[in-house]
């Protein structure tokens, strides 16, 4: 007799994957000490849920059920491969407590397995791009294609990068543990990059029906707060927490009740999360006292200008352009350059903005980046160059996987007499 409807089970499993994947995988890695094996066991557990839950019902704690199922499979794998002795020196006991010099949370306990997984993937033996890509893949359960889009590279390139990173972890016998207080700072920039990309991926989902993946956003905020507790004096950590708080403060106003995308100029600022903004602004001020200021503090300062502006018309775009200029000097990036170009358009007019955007058209890293033609289309629309704007909106639409953003672009195209494809 079926206890749970299959469609309800499918929805519950999908929700559990979004919310619990990192917990399940991180706990399973403790057993296997092998990332590929742990992924397989975790995936098997989610597959088993699809057949077990319709018969026995959806458990009250899906994450605990999935973790138990994955760890049981992992123990079988370990026994089958006979690797207990080979991995024994690297095992971290479940009831272990912080040793001398090891970091602990506010309650004295070790941070959870997700932090172990992040710092393992951010080991100095791996190059930076591999650290971030691997952690996004494992922490979030993102597909290789989604991670590739976050990095602006091809899927095959990213697949090879992730595979090499996993092999290097296995060959180097990198231990699965939280490093000591003395070791953690050298990895903090990579860890912050991971959390930031986790946030940006959730803030505007690369593909899917919803604009925001709340689970990824909330996870990144939680991890930012955890890092703040662990490294309270680190200005980069303060800057990252400020950035995610200030940006996420606008979350509920980014879409209309009918699901339509609302641009910053259209959002009801009275509905923004003012306590989060106040906390973020205080963190920005603290982080900017460092010299040179961390890149996240500068990005947070830009977000603070928006957050503290009483209206769109009152936004100090010249200050934003200046902040992007400093950011671009300290952290050169084609995306930063594009954001600065857009700000130039609001500070100095659509002609200046279009010229700044067009100057980036030859950057190979921005090829296939949908926000470039979207920005260009908006400036062309404002300048009355309708035919060129239609072509740019069509290009942006072809490069966009998020349904909410696609509908926005299609709407703009229709307004200009074009036909979305």
- Of 107-116, 180-189, 240-249, the least confident: 107-116
**Which pair of structure tokens corresponds to residue 390?**
């239609």
Confidence of residue 3 (pLDDT cuts 50, 70, 90): low
| Domain spans, the chain | 1-89, 323-421
- Phi/psi of residue 34, nearest 5 degrees: -140, 120
**Sequence-distant (≥ 6) Cβ neighbours of residue 306 within 8 angstroms:** 246, 264, 315, 320
Instruction: Calculate mean pLDDT across residues 282-298.
Output: 96
Is a pLDDT exceeding 50 seen at residue 293?
A: yes
Position 88 scores a pLDDT of 42
Is a pLDDT exceeding 60 seen at residue 134?
A: yes
Is a pLDDT exceeding 70 seen at residue 84?
A: no
- The tens digit of pLDDT for each residue in 313-357 reads 999 999 999 999 999 999 999 999 999 999 999 999 999 999 999
Which CATH number among 1.50.10, 2.10.10, 3.40.50, 1.10.1740 corresponds to the domain 1-89? 1.10.1740
Cβ-contact 396, 370 below 8 angstroms = yes
Range with top average pLDDT, 55-59, 97-101, 115-119, 351-355:
351-355
Cβ-contact 125, 174 below 8 angstroms = yes
Query: Looking at the whole model, is its pTM more than 0.85?
Result: no
Confidence of residue 35 (pLDDT cuts 50, 70, 90): confident
Position 108 scores a pLDDT of 34
Position 179 scores a pLDDT of 67
- The tens digit of pLDDT for each residue in 142-180 reads 788 888 877 768 889 989 888 888 888 777 777 666 666
Position 281 scores a pLDDT of 98
Is a pLDDT exceeding 60 seen at residue 408?
A: yes
**Which pair of structure tokens corresponds to residue 40?**
């397989």
Task: Domain 323-421: state its class.
Answer: mainly alpha
CA–CA gap between residue 248 and residue 215 (Å, rounded): 12
**Which pair of structure tokens corresponds to residue 420?**
């979305």
Instruction: Calculate mean pLDDT across residues 220-240.
Output: 89
- The tens digit of pLDDT for each residue in 168-221 reads 877 777 766 666 667 766 778 888 988 898 899 889 988 888 999 887 898 889
């Amino acid at each position: 007799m079926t206890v749970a409807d299959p469609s309800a089970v499918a929805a519950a499993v999908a929700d559990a994957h979004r919310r619990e994947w990192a917990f399940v995988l991180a706990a399973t890695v403790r057993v296997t000490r092998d990332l590929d094996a742990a992924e397989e066991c975790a995936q098997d557990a989610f597959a088993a849920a699809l057949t077990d839950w319709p018969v026995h019902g959806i458990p009250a704690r899906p994450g605990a059920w999935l973790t138990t199922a994955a760890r049981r499979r992992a123990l079988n794998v370990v026994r089958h491969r006979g690797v207990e002795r080979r991995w024994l020196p690297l095992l971290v006991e479940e009831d272990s407590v912080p040793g001398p010099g090891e970091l602990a949370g506010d309650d004295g306990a070790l941070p959870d397995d997700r932090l172990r997984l992040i710092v393992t993937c951010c080991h100095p033996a791996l190059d930076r791009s591999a650290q971030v890509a691997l952690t996004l893949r494992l922490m979030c359960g993102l597909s290789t294609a989604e991670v590739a889009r976050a990095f602006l590279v091809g899927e095959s390139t990213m697949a090879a990068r992730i595979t090499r990173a996993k092999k290097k972890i296995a060959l180097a016998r990198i231990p699965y543990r939280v490093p000591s207080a003395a070791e953690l700072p050298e990895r903090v920039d990579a860890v912050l990059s991971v959390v930031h990309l986790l946030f940006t991926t959730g803030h505007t989902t690369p593909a899917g029906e919803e604009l925001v993946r709340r689970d990824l956003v909330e996870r990144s905020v939680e991890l930012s707060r955890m890092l703040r507790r662990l490294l309270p004096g680190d200005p980069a950590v303060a800057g990252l927490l400020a950035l995610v708080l200030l940006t996420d403060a606008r979350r509920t106003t980014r879409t209309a009740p009918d699901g339509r995308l609302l641009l910053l100029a259209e959002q009801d600022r009275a509905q923004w999360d003012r306590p989060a903004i106040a906390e973020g602004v205080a963190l920005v001020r603290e982080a900017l006292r460092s010299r040179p200021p961390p890149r996240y503090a500068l990005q947070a300062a830009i977000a603070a200008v928006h957050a503290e502006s009483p209206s769109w018309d009152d936004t100090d775009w010249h200050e934003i352009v200046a902040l992007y200029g400093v950011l671009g000097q300290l952290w050169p990036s084609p995306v930063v350059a594009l954001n600065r170009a857009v700000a130039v358009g609001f500070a100095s007019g659509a002609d200046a903005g279009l010229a700044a955007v067009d100057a980036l058209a030859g950057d190979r890293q921005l090829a296939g980046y949908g926000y470039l033609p979207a920005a260009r289309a908006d400036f062309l629309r404002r300048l009355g160059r309708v035919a060129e704007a239609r072509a740019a909106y069509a290009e942006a639409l072809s490069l966009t996987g998020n349904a909410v953003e696609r509908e926005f672009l299609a709407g703009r195209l229709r307004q200009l007499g074009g036909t979305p494809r």
